[in-house]
């Protein structure tokens, strides 16, 4: 029995000496050396007791060994679980307890904080921003060959936590088939080849940066200029020799703010791709006017990887996310009944295909709620299809906020604010932002007689939430607007307090 994902993405490069990862320091790791490094890490993981199906948690800096850790986990038959490097200890405690990993790999500087969170019998390894740590040291001493663990199409390869406005985070179970089918569809659709060089400034704890950018690059044998994060100077320097870039809208708004971005600078570029948050039409148009390139916008989510894409050839229409990927079905349904709606009517986006996850980790009831017996997944997003099948996203059933490509769930932020002494209640909502797509605003009602400044609330919230989730602005109100049923009217809050100041 083969290991589906490893055999397609990694094994073919065993003798490939072409460059794969080029870091910020200019050092390059070729494909053959990467395959060997993954094998060394697979040996490290199994030496720590990892067996097929065990979870490997990674909250690590974006360095070459972090990518090799993903590949090594796949080769060892493990389930790879990347976590946002901005999560607080309280957030990490939930994820680690829920996933019950066999190995946790963290930044070297965070080992003391994470050690108490590890389950009994779980190993803690480290990997620093300098590429060194106990993981790397153990890999240096491990054999460069590993007998790949068999894994089939329906075996889990990844576990990515998402959430909902009702609070508790959910682990989306991604199989070998889910990840490989999506990588194959995207590599073909976007025409990624070994001649491409990708600017990779995305985080690798997220579907976009990990399963889209890296899996397609591995499948095609492309070069990857691995940047620790969005560094405009580094991107500007890289553009003349790159052919491909994947980013979130924030990347493009920040590049547009740089006078050095010109059509001449982008003359070797083949494709700019945007996702993870809505791309404003004005950003799309301004980028095309400046560079001559129309950004290709696509749509996906943690549970499905990518669902739709604007075409490589043909019109890339600003404000739309294009057509369903080959092999993927998208239907627009009545949110109340689930019945398909006529073309042109707004409804729930549902998707079915080999890219759709197998369910939520330890949550069979939630799986049954969101994943129909027919195989269609209820995305929670509202959209509309035109006569050609082109999809536009028009809203979200849940009050999900997406800022800079990151998902932010109001209920979680509200819980943190409401825990502050003197706060009676709060309502968190997103408002449009030209740079980040959306920004977080919190409306807060204080208890009678309490004098509490927004800065005081912000300081306490900062101790419990990752920075990207924290409200940019707090509005103190006497009462939250409610309808006759007592539900908070966030549409009224957005209308009255939507302008950032």
Is residue 255 classed as helix, strand or coil in its secondary structure?
helix
Task: Specify the pLDDT at position 75.
Answer: 98
Residue 276 resides in a domain: no
What tokens appear for 195 in the block?
A: 């001649």
Question: Is 394 inside any structural domain?
Answer: no
What is the structure's pLDDT at 487?
62
- What's the rounded mean pLDDT across residues 46-75? 98
Measure the CA–CA gap between 79 and 229, rounded to whole angstroms: 25
CB atoms under 10 Å from CB of 197, counted, come to 21
Asked whether the predicted pLDDT for residue 277 surpasses 80, the reply is no
Query: What does the pLDDT look like over 433-463, one tens digit per residue?
Result: 888 888 999 999 998 899 899 999 999 999 9
User: Is 79 within 8 Å of 55 (Cβ atoms)?
Assistant: yes
Residue 425: what pLDDT? Answer: 86
Nearest 5°: the CA angle 241, 243, 247 is 110
> The domain that contains 53 carries what CATH number?
3.40.50.980
CB neighbour list of residue 104: distance below 8 Å, 6 or more residues apart: 57, 58, 59, 96, 114, 117, 118, 122, 123, 124, 125
Q: How far apart are CA 288 and CA 472, in angstroms?
A: 30
pLDDT at 398: 63
Exposed e or buried b per residue across 308-324, where buried means at least 16 C-beta atoms within 10 angstroms of its C-beta: bbbeeeeebbbebbbbb
pLDDT digits (tens, 9 = 90+) for 183-240: 999 999 999 999 999 999 999 999 999 999 999 999 999 999 999 999 999 999 999 9
- Mean pLDDT computed over 156-179: 84
What's the helix, strand, coil split of the chain in %, to 5?
30, 25, 40
Q: Residue 130's closest CA among 106, 111, 104, 108?
A: 108
In angstroms, rounded to a whole number, what is the distance separating the alpha carbons of residues 90 and 465?
A: 8
Asked if residue 149 has pLDDT above 80, the reply is yes
Residue 423 lies in a domain: yes
Identify which of 303, 310, 230, 238 has the alpha carbon closest to the alpha carbon of residue 275: 310
Q: Which residues face 125 on adjacent strands?
A: 105
Q: Of 100, 127, 152, at which residue does a domain stop?
A: 152
Mean pLDDT of the chain: 93
Instruction: Kindly give the pairing relationship between strand 296-301 and strand 305-309.
Output: antiparallel
pLDDT for the residue 167: 56
Give the model's confidence band at 166: pLDDT under 50 very low, under 70 low, under 90 confident, else very high.
Answer: very low
The more confident residue out of 486 and 349 is: 349
Question: Can you tell me whether residue 12 is helix, strand or coil?
Answer: helix
Q: Report the distance separating Cα 50 and Cα 124, nearest Å.
A: 12
Is residue 290, in this structure, part of any structural domain at all? no
Q: Please give the Cα distance from 324 to 317 (Å, whole number).
A: 15
In this predicted structure, the answer to whether residue 120 has a pLDDT above a threshold of 60 is: yes
3-state SS class at 182? helix
Q: Is the pLDDT of residue 396 over 70?
A: no
Domain membership flag for residue 121: yes
Instruction: Among 122, 152, 182, identify where a domain stops.
Output: 152
Q: Give pLDDT, residue 424.
A: 86
Least confident among 64-78, 254-268, 469-483: 469-483
For the chain, the domain total comes to 2
What is the SS3 assignment for 384-416? EECCCCCEEEEEECCCCEEECCEEECHHHHHHH
Residue 249 lies in a domain: no
d(CA 228, CA 242): 17
pLDDT given for residue 343 in this prediction = 92
Q: What is the pLDDT of residues 237-255, one digit of tens each?
A: 999 999 999 998 889 989 9
* Residue pair 226/67 in contact by the 8 Å Cβ criterion: yes
Q: Please compute the mean of the pLDDT values over residues 122-131 and round it to a whole number.
A: 96
**Is 254 within the bounds of a domain?**
no
* Domain-terminating residue out of 152, 184, 211: 152
When pLDDT is cut at 50, 70 and 90, the band that residue 498 belongs to is confident
The CATH number linked to 452 is 3.30.300.30
Query: Quick one: pLDDT at residue 164?
Result: 43
User: Left (φ > 0), alpha (ψ -120 to 50) or beta: where does 405 sit?
Assistant: left
Over residues 297-344, the pLDDT tens digits come to: 999 999 999 999 999 999 999 889 999 999 999 999 998 899 999 999
Q: Is the pLDDT of residue 500 over 80?
A: no
For residue 335, what are the CA distances in angstroms to 40, 329, 397?
49, 17, 9
Residue range 254-278: average pLDDT?
94
**Confidence band for 346, pLDDT divided at 50, 70 and 90:** confident
**Which of residues 140 and 437 earns the better pLDDT score?**
140
- Confidence band, pLDDT 50/70/90 cuts, at residue 165: very low
Which domain covers residue 469, as residue numbers?
Answer: 401-497
Confidence of residue 499 (pLDDT cuts 50, 70, 90): low
pTM of the model: 0.84
């Amino acid at each position: 029995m083969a290991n589906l994902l490893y055999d397609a993405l990694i094994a073919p490069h065993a003798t490939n000496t072409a460059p794969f990862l080029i870091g910020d320091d200019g050092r390059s790791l070729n494909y053959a050396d990467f395959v060997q490094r993954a094998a060394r890490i697979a040996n490290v993981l199994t030496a720590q007791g990892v067996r097929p199906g065990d979870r490997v948690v990674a909250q690590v800096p974006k360095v070459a060994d972090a990518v090799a850790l993903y590949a090594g986990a796949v080769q060892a038959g493990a389930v790879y679980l990347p976590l946002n490097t901005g999560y607080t200890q309280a957030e990490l405690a939930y994820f680690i307890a829920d996933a019950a990993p066999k190995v946790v790999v963290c930044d070297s500087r965070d080992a003391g904080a994470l050690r108490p969170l590890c389950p009994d019998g779980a190993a803690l390894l480290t990997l620093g921003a300098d590429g060194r740590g106990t993981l790397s040291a153990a890999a240096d001493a491990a054999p460069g060959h590993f007998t790949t663990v068999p894994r089939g199409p329906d075996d889990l390869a990844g576990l990515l936590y998402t959430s909902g406005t009702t609070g508790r985070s959910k682990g989306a179970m991604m199989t070998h088939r889910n990840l490989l089918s999506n990588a194959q569809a995207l590599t073909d659709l976007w025409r990624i080849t070994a001649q491409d060089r990708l600017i990779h400034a995305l985080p690798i704890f997220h579907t976009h940066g990990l399963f889209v950018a890296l899996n397609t690059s591995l499948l095609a044998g492309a070069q990857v200029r691995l940047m620790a994060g969005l560094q405009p100077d580094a991107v500007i320097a890289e553009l003349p020799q790159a052919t491909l870039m994947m980013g979130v809208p924030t990347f493009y708004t920040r590049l547009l703010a740089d006078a050095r971005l010109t059509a001449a600078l982008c003359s070797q570029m083949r494709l700019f791709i945007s996702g993870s948050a809505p791309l404003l039409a004005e950003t799309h148009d301004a980028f095309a006017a400046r560079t001559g390139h129309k950004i290709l916008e696509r749509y996906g989510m943690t549970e499905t990887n990518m669902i739709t894409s604007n075409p490589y050839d043909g019109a890339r229409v600003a404000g739309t996310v294009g057509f369903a990927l080959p092999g993927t079905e998208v239907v627009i349904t009545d949110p109340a009944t689930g019945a398909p709606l006529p073309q042109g009517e707004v409804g729930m986006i549902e998707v079915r295909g080999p890219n759709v996850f197998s369910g939520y980790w330890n949550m069979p009831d939630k799986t049954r709620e969101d994943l129909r017996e027919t195989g269609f997944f209820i995305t929670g997003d509202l959209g509309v299809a035109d006569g050609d099948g082109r999809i536009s996203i028009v809203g979200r059933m849940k009050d999900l906020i997406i800022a800079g490509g990151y998902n932010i769930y109001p209920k979680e932020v509200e819980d943190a604010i409401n825990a502050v002494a003197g706060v009676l209640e709060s309502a968190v909502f997103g408002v449009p932002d030209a740079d980040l797509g959306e920004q977080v605003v919190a409306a807060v009602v204080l208890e009678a007689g309490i004098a509490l400044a927004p800065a005081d609330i912000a300081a306490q919230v900062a101790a419990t939430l990752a920075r990207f989730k924290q409200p940019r602005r707090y509005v103190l109100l006497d009462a939250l607007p409610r309808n006759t049923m007592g539900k908070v009217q966030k549409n009224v809050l957005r209308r009255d307090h939507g302008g950032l100041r």
